[in-house]
Chain A
């Protein structure tokens, strides 16, 4: 289903979606992030990219699994806690971040469906916004099977045509949303389609960064596991969690019990984000750490994204959003690292 929506009608359409919980990019100080919105007029789609991707809505940094306590008769009591039933719409999703969710889908799905992830995922409708201008100078989606107007993973894709949006519904869920605001949409004319094509072409040209000959990288990485290259590359790494916590595709977590009271027992079992970049991520209870230094941890990040994931899921575990490049406090640049990997030893 393809439609045209006048920009001034956008808030009115959103108002029709009141039965949904609405999320959109919001500015706090200098940073944009996805937040729940109460007034449709507050949505500002004139933003670059958010610091954290919408991953944080589907796979929140903290998820309560269950609550435990001792009941009056002294028996343990366990209550499962599930994400609330609350259909949501996320506006302004960048194509790279939508694609990233298709990647975390394969991790939290497959042989075993992660109940918590899927409850949130199934309830969310993703309304994308094509990038007519790359939101970051470090965008490189074109190198990793993406594009600034990719529809993958989205329910609706909106494209800014100046005074109006080109709105394309891609799924049943998307159709439902459009139908709710039926009277605000117009049929696209030939000129709209032409404008859309022009914008899409132009947006691709504006993406400056590339990983060249990316196909050579996974086999090359396989050869480089024991290479001294990683020691050199990791010299400036400070072992913080920025690259992985901000990455829309990273999905590692830890499960722990938060004990509020030990007598009588009361507490919660929670899942929280974790990262391969923290030293304690691989620490065994014996004290042995198989990834003992930052070189082995940087290697893990790169190999997971560009070798292991490729071997297992036939896709890169990176959608080229550029966050890890822009926000690394010491300027480690995944494109530079991969360029060096590709050319290593030649």
Chain B
């Protein structure tokens, strides 16, 4: 079991040594059960850190912010930042390294084990508690969560309230780290693609109807994109200004820029957005499920990426985010790569 005190001690130590700029971790929210991202600079604040099943966030997204901020600074502080990662999050670090978006020496990785369980799905928990408010959630003995609600302790089998992606997780222990806490508990899902099999079993017409109904709900708040560690492009094709405008870009050049997508949240534009995003994440998405968790309209966006993850596996035997030395899917080529889908 991860000893929280060990995490705090290690955090304090690395900050005191002064070799780390700050730590990206989790802390308890002052309101409610959920944790929230924390940015710790001072050794004495290491006390605030937490690690429990409410730590759903994939914090590697903040490595993207860090890189942007650093690029703007005149005299950047070049020390690495430390980051607390779960197994799935660590795979995101691997992809960022593979794609050379970050360098290994820019990050100090503090891995935590999911203890053979995973993180909670807040909605499932709320349903389970039937109106009672959870104040705290902890890992308990194998495969159980311990919930404190109104001073009462309730034990719930993890399987019943785990986040969907945790049910299909293939890395519940960090795959890359400088320091790791907790034991490695093997838990291989029987079927890592179970969630999409239901969709795949539908007819073409049914699938179209399903996705149309789902994507018609989209309000294009772009939370799914903003929360994703892989959506790090400085310019996104769906933004109104999706091209570099410099001081010397002429009015004519600006007028001639192609607008790929309209702002109107109707079926056609929403499909363009979601399909572009899905394709751009093929062989890159590590299935942290953050996109789906963030969506205020409960659109199962993760399934789109999951489908492409499955394609990558079946067509190219490629699994994302396990080996930083391996070239990424889109930048590797083998003579015997299948090409029968190219027509």
Digit string of A141-182 for contact with B (CB within 8 Å is 1, else 0)? Answer: 000000000000000000000000000000000000000000
Query: A272–B220 Cα gap in the complex (Å)?
Result: 11
Complex contact B222–A241 (CB within 8 A): yes
The yes or no answer to B279 lying at the interface (CB within 8 A) is no
| Nearest opposing residue in chain B for A254, CB measure | B263
Q: Is the CB of B297 within 8 A of A31?
A: yes
Query: Do B265 and A329 touch (CB < 8 A)?
Result: no
Judge whether A240 and B221 touch: CB under 8 Å.
Answer: yes
Once the chains bind, are A238 and B247 in contact (CB under 8 Å)? no
Chain B CB count within 10 A is highest, among A238, A270, A285, A335, for A238
Cβ contact within 8 Å between B223 and A242: yes
Size of interface on B: residues with Cβ below 8 Å to A:
45
Q: Does A245 contact B (CB under 8 A)?
A: yes
A256 close to chain B: CB less than 8 A: yes
Report, as a range, how many residues of chain A touch the other chain.
Answer: 35 or more
A285, A327, A330: the one within 8 Å of B245 (CB): A285
CA distance A312 to B76 in the complex (A): 41
Also in contact, A246 and B247, with CB within 8 A (given A240-B221, A330-B57, A331-B36): no
Chain B residue numbers with a CB within 8 Å of A239 are 226
- Any chain B CB within 8 A of the CB of A190? no
A275 to B239 CA separation, bound complex (whole angstroms): 12
A51 touching B265, Cβ below 8 Å: no
Among A30, A62, A137, A331, point to the contact of B298 (Cβ < 8 A).
A30
* Cβ-closest chain A residue relative to B213: A28
* Contact A242-B221, Cβ < 8 Å, known A30-B298, A258-B264: yes
Which of B29, B240, B246 is A331 in contact with, Cβ under 8 Å? B29
A binding-site residues for B, Cβ under 8 Å = 28-31, 51-52, 61-62, 137-138, 209, 232, 235-236, 238-242, 245-246, 254, 256, 258, 270, 272-275, 278-280, 283, 285-287, 294, 325, 327, 329-331, 333, 335-336
A62-B265, A270-B264, A335-B31 known, 15 other contacts, Cβ within 8 Å:
A29-B298, A31-B298, A62-B263, A137-B133, A232-B39, A236-B36, A238-B61, A240-B294, A256-B262, A280-B239, A285-B245, A287-B249, A329-B290, A331-B29, A336-B30
Q: 8 shortest A-B CB distances, which residue pairs?
A: A331-B36, A240-B223, A329-B294, A241-B221, A240-B226, A287-B245, A272-B263, A238-B226
